[in-house]
């Protein structure tokens, strides 16, 4: 009887193809073309049920955020005082709050803003973390000057970790948003890159000791080229996963700030400002926006987990 924990021959060949140090894909069966690494990763990702659930929910939410305002008659700030504080109906799908504002139109508009801020913050956070973490890890073994630079960066990371980021966000966010609400993206990224940078610094320190990085260094390869060619590709999978999962965290951060009045300001609206107008006696004033927020974050996290399983050849959950 076959042990269920023992990988089959096909699974062993698949792990060999996904190994980072594999020079080329394993030989394909006679008469068939060998699969590239990208094709194999795509197959592993798409056969994961979590990926399909996450992509389906996220696609519906993005479609609602983009096309919903085109077909819905009410705008986020158009008042219907005659129907104030009324439950969902054929005219107002999610109901009307106590200020006479249509909840569905505000939820859709808030979803669009939250998606932009979440994606922008995650990308900017990853860029800062990659820049700082790889520099610190690469120069840490390059003499006294490199050690000093590494020490300075580590101390800078520790400083940002102890700085009360929430208080500074509450202080600067309303002032900067008078110019543009997009200022919330760099503000959130400013206090979210430190832990990722520390992990990347540690990974880079391990990679700089490898033979191919040392060989490139002795051959006189430019350090920037060395990092881009040999360091970044070997940590790219971790960066992709961290960035994907960071979108949900950024959305929750923006929603929390907006809920307490220090995030998105008028004339813009986000899911946090929709939840700000809640009334516990009338669940329709907050349940739809909360459900959209939960579906958005969960779908992104499901896709991130599926992506991690696809990129990690040792993940048991990826053998489906």
Q: Which domains does the chain have, with CATH numbers?
A: 45-76+94-318 (1.10.3720.10)
User: pLDDT tens for residues 46-83?
Assistant: 888 999 999 999 999 999 999 988 889 999 999 988 88
Residue owning tokens 């520390």: 198
**pLDDT tens string 98-126:** 889 999 999 999 999 999 999 999 999 99
Q: What is the pLDDT of residues 4-47, one digit of tens each?
A: 444 444 444 454 444 444 434 445 555 556 777 778 888 888 88
**pTM for this model (two decimals):** 0.82
Instruction: Single out the residue of 153, 161, 126, 140 nearest to residue 205, CA to CA.
Output: 140
Q: Is the pLDDT of residue 187 over 60?
A: yes
Model confidence pLDDT, tens digit, residues 290-316:
999 999 999 999 998 888 888 876 655
- Between the alpha carbon of residue 291 and those of residues 44, 72, 298, 311, the distances in Å are 30, 20, 10, 30
Q: Confidence band (pLDDT; 50, 70, 90) for 3?
A: very low
Q: How far apart are CA 200 and CA 195, in angstroms?
A: 9
Distance from C-alpha of 285 to C-alpha of 305, rounded to nearest angstrom: 32
pLDDT value at 237 more than 60: yes
Q: Within 13 Å of residue 205, how many CA atoms lie on the same side as its CB? A: 15
């Amino acid at each position: 009887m076959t042990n269920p924990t023992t990988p089959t021959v096909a699974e062993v060949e698949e792990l060999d193809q996904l190994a980072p140090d594999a020079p080329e894909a394993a030989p394909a069966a006679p008469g068939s073309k060998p699969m590239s690494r990208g094709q194999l990763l795509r197959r592993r990702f798409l056969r994961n049920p979590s990926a399909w659930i996450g992509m389906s929910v996220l696609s519906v939410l993005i479609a609602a955020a983009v096309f919903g305002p085109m077909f819905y008659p009410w705008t986020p700030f158009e008042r219907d005082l005659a129907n104030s504080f009324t439950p969902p109906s054929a005219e107002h799908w999610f109901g009307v709050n106590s200020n006479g504002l249509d909840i569905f139109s505000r939820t859709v508009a808030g979803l669009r803003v939250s998606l932009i801020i979440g994606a922008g913050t995650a990308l900017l956070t990853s860029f800062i973390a990659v820049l700082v973490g790889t520099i610190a890890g690469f120069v840490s073994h390059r003499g006294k000057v490199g050690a000093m630079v590494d020490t300075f960066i580590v101390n800078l990371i520790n400083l940002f970790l102890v700085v009360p980021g929430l208080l500074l966000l509450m202080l600067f966010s309303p002032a900067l948003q008078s110019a543009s609400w997009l200022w919330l993206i760099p503000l959130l990224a400013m206090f979210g890159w430190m832990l990722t940078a520390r992990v990347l610094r540690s990974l880079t320190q391990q990679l700089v000791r490898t033979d191919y990085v040392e060989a490139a260094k002795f051959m006189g390869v430019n350090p920037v080229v060395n990092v881009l060619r040999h360091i970044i590709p070997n940590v790219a999978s971790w960066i992709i996963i961290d960035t994907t999962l960071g979108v949900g965290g950024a959305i929750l951060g923006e929603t929390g700030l907006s809920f307490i009045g220090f995030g998105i300001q008028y004339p813009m609206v986000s899911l946090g400002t929709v939840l700000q107008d809640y009334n516990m006696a009338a669940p329709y004033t907050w349940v739809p926006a909360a459900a959209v927020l939960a579906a958005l974050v969960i779908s992104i996290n499901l896709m991130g987990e599926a992506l991690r399983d696809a990129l990690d050849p040792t993940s048991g959950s990826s053998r489906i």
